[in-house]
Amino acid sequence: MGVPYVTREQLFQSPVITGIISQLDTPGSLFQRTYGGAGMNDRVQGRTASWDIYNATRSVATVRGPRTGPNLRSRKPYGNRSSQLIRLHEKMFIADEDLMRYRPPGGPVGAIDTNGQAYVRQQLGYFAQVFRNAREFMWSRMFRGGFGVKVVGDDMQLVEKGAGGVVFDVDYALPAAHLNQLGGIIGASWATSSTDIVSQLMELEKYASRVNGRPPRHLWMNGFTARYLLENSQLAQIVGTSVRIFDSLTRREIDPASKYPDTGYDIVFGALPLYRFHVYNGGLVKAGTAEDFDSQINASNFEYFIPDDHVIITPDPGEWCGSIVGSEYVRENVTSDMREVYGFNAWATPVIDPPGREVKQVDNFLPVLYEPYAIYYAKVANF
């Protein structure tokens, strides 16, 4: 039987740190787990990415009479888009002194028992979560049109698109007709129980066929907005007022590596069986909020991924979106060789004053919307 401890050197090896973090499931990552895996994912050297655009056609061939030559058709033009990836980079100091109390009785100097390993795991879990949160923030704002980056001292913070003091916005170029009332498709408020929501979605389905071809199938909202659907009399009349309005209401499953399921639930309404309505109450605090408990739960500091009265509408997950990870060169300490790392990576650097380890994490990443005409960010009430 092996000894129930490891050395500090073993615990802070880069593969061990990255392995621990990869096993951690953090709450509030529903967008990236739903769309990230099914999307078009790529990686590039450095932080600049570009992709070509070659659209399909809906034109028809030209009719020509007998004994005439062919009509000359021009070649299909290509387009191109480029982006600069977001670089996240932080470090956390873990003092050797903090780990000394976890030396197992009779074990060698520098050994860490299971309690010490749990302590390090908790700190790495917290550290990994802020990076996972940053990715979820970017995913959620992609569906809403973009986000901004603001300079605060020597750092930069992720903020809302167009916020005061931003140095640049990441704009996903959602068409104007895909925002707010969707060019008039949302012609009546969902807060009114008699609103014909079915007709609105059928009109959106027709519009989507013309501008993109991918039918809308997933509607994301928070619990405040979801109640409009549960109270809608027209949805109830279609299935019959004597039966429940929905075919299924499913809670989120608990991931084996997590203590809690993601917030919210999924609904399929009898009147709209092809659509899945996702109730997602997740959110994050504003950049710069203190880590104490009261600050983290304060309503003035908290921002939901999906605001009240708003709905994100997408097709089935697919290659209309995705993510790109970039690379950079790192050197773990003064004696190690330089190596190139892609996307998220973590390692530890020994320090001597005071002695300990600086655990460092870096992530070069950006969610990408390859087809801006595929999604919608609608305001369905109080407009």
Nearest to 143 by CA among 113, 179, 112: 179
Structure tokens at 300: 């003035």
For residues 221 and 264, is the Cβ–Cβ distance under 8 A?
A: no
Enumerate the domain spans of the chain: 12-51+81-379
Global pTM value: 0.88
Of the CATH numbers 3.30.70, 3.90.1690, 1.25.40, 3.30.750, which one belongs to the domain with range 12-51+81-379?
Answer: 3.90.1690
- What would the mean pLDDT of 279-285 be, rounded to a whole number? 93
- 3-class state of residue 322 by DSSP: strand
The pLDDT assigned to 24 comes to: 47
Cα(313)–Cα(375) distance, integer angstroms: 6
Asked if residue 2 has pLDDT above 50, the reply is no
For residues 306 and 280, is the Cβ–Cβ distance under 8 A?
A: yes
- What would the mean pLDDT of 327-346 be, rounded to a whole number? 91
* pLDDT tens string 208-237: 999 999 999 999 999 999 999 999 999 999
Amino acid (1-letter code) at residue 236: A
∠ CA(353), CA(354), CA(359), 5° rounding? 100
- What would the mean pLDDT of 44-66 be, rounded to a whole number? 92
The pLDDT assigned to 98 comes to: 78
Nearest to 303 by CA among 117, 120, 125, 159: 159
* pLDDT tens string 25-34: 455 688 998 9
Cα(213)–Cα(14) distance, integer angstroms: 45
pLDDT band at 56 (very low <50, low <70, confident <90, very high): confident
Placement of tokens 């129930």 in the chain: 4
| Beta bridge pairs of residue 362 | 89, 345
pLDDT band at 260 (very low <50, low <70, confident <90, very high): low
For residues 23 and 257, is the Cβ–Cβ distance under 8 A?
A: yes
Nearest to 358 by CA among 368, 349, 366, 370: 349
Asked if residue 258 has pLDDT above 70, the reply is no
* pLDDT tens string 85-97: 999 999 999 888 8
294: left (phi over 0), alpha (psi -120 to 50) or beta: alpha
Placement of tokens 């655990």 in the chain: 359
Residue 188 exposed, middle or buried by CB count within 10 Å (0-12, 13-18, 19+): middle
Query: Torsions phi, psi of 96, nearest 5?
Result: -60, -35
Please list, in sequence order, all residues whose beta carbon lies within 8 angstroms of the beta carbon of residue 158, skipping any fewer than 6 positions away. 86, 134, 137, 138, 147, 148, 149, 287
Nearest to 232 by CA among 262, 269, 203: 269
Cα(284)–Cα(37) distance, integer angstroms: 22
Cα(91)–Cα(127) distance, integer angstroms: 9
Asked if residue 1 has pLDDT above 50, the reply is no
Structure tokens at 284: 């994050």
